[in-house]
A and B are shown apart, each in its own frame.
Chain A
Amino acid sequence: MVYLTRKAEFAASHYYHNPEFTPEQNRAIFGKCNNPNGHGHNYTLEVTVKGAVDPKSGFVVDLKQLKDIMSREVLDAMDHRFLNKEVPEFLHQIPTTENIAIAIWQRLAPKLKAAQLHRVRVYETPDLFVDFYGEAA
């Protein structure tokens, strides 16, 4: 089993708000992130896949294919977007780093054939990141 990690970057804006909470609760829980006009981050995405090395190609996965899948499924949808307003998953779910990592996993997992998705890591800033391993609980 070999693990391969591919990075990508995207810039997007978001804000944190739960319509079930009162405005005061939203401000208390989410603080500055509750500003409805949004704020932005340069996100770094790390996608790790695992698999056996194909004896013919020497690859775990064709990097070009992985790159294309990441571009199509993630970057086209999220790069330079206001996540709350433009990405279907976040119309009714808060685009926290946790939920972004889960959404990216769910977008990528069905598209990967040869290699298996191992981990999605999303850096919101260099000092804050989330790992999702596809675990339900």
Chain B
Amino acid sequence: MKAHLTRRYLFSASHRLHSNAMPDDWNRETYGKCNNPHGHGHNYRLEVTVSGPVDPKTGMVCNLVDLDGFVRNEILERFGHENLNTLPDFNNDVPTTENLCIRIYEILQRGFRHAHLEKVRMEETMMNSFAYAGGKELRD
């Protein structure tokens, strides 16, 4: 039997939406308050969905210890309580939650070996959320 398992995590970080490739007035117009040069922060909710056959010996798609450990070491440690604009991940990309979502998907896709990655979903606030499934259509 194949099941999907979703785990939610929380981290806080700051960012400023600003493209160095574009003039200042374009940035102000496009990003509004998010273009404030001093940045601002969010409590990001991260949702990771993995899938796979349920192992008859353990009853699990994957051991949560492995998923939690990977996310803690590779994602929460890397992004939590950081200014996203200062990280190498965003040297060339604006740290929108769209781009953050894609970056986190790529980290999981590259390194997490215990189950198949289905999607990454992020809530920037209670009012907006973003999801990325490696370019595939979402299933719900």
A, B bound: yes
A interface residue numbers (CB < 8 A to B): 16, 18, 20-21, 29-31, 93-99, 101-102, 119, 126-133, 135-137
- Whether the Cβ atoms of B4 and A128 lie closer than 8 Å is no
- Whether the Cβ atoms of A130 and B53 lie closer than 8 Å is no
- Whether the Cβ atoms of A128 and B3 lie closer than 8 Å is no
Closest residue of chain B to A120 (Cβ to Cβ) is B3
- Whether the Cβ atoms of A135 and B2 lie closer than 8 Å is yes
- Whether the Cβ atoms of B6 and A130 lie closer than 8 Å is yes
- Whether the Cβ atoms of A127 and B7 lie closer than 8 Å is yes
- The complex places the Cα of A16 from the Cα of B61 at a distance, in Å, of 14
- Whether the Cβ atoms of A29 and B6 lie closer than 8 Å is no
- The complex places the Cα of A135 from the Cα of B139 at a distance, in Å, of 14
- Whether the Cβ atoms of A98 and B7 lie closer than 8 Å is no
The reply to whether the CB of B110 lies closer than 8 angstroms to some CB of chain A is no
- Closest Cβ of chain B: how far from A39's Cβ, in Å? 14
- Whether the Cβ atoms of A99 and B54 lie closer than 8 Å is yes
- Whether the Cβ atoms of B64 and A128 lie closer than 8 Å is yes
- Whether the Cβ atoms of A102 and B8 lie closer than 8 Å is no
8 Å CB contact of A96 from B6, B9, B49, B60: B60
- The complex places the Cα of A129 from the Cα of B64 at a distance, in Å, of 12
Contacts A98-B1, A98-B60 supplied; 14 other A-B pairs, CB < 8 Å: A16-B59, A29-B63, A31-B65, A94-B59, A98-B59, A98-B61, A101-B3, A119-B140, A128-B8, A130-B3, A130-B4, A131-B4, A131-B6, A132-B1
- Closest Cβ of chain B: how far from A136's Cβ, in Å? 6
- The complex places the Cα of A101 from the Cα of B6 at a distance, in Å, of 13
> Please, which residues of chain B bring their CB within 8 A of the CB of A119?
140
> Please, which residues of chain A bring their CB within 8 A of the CB of B54?
96, 98-99, 102
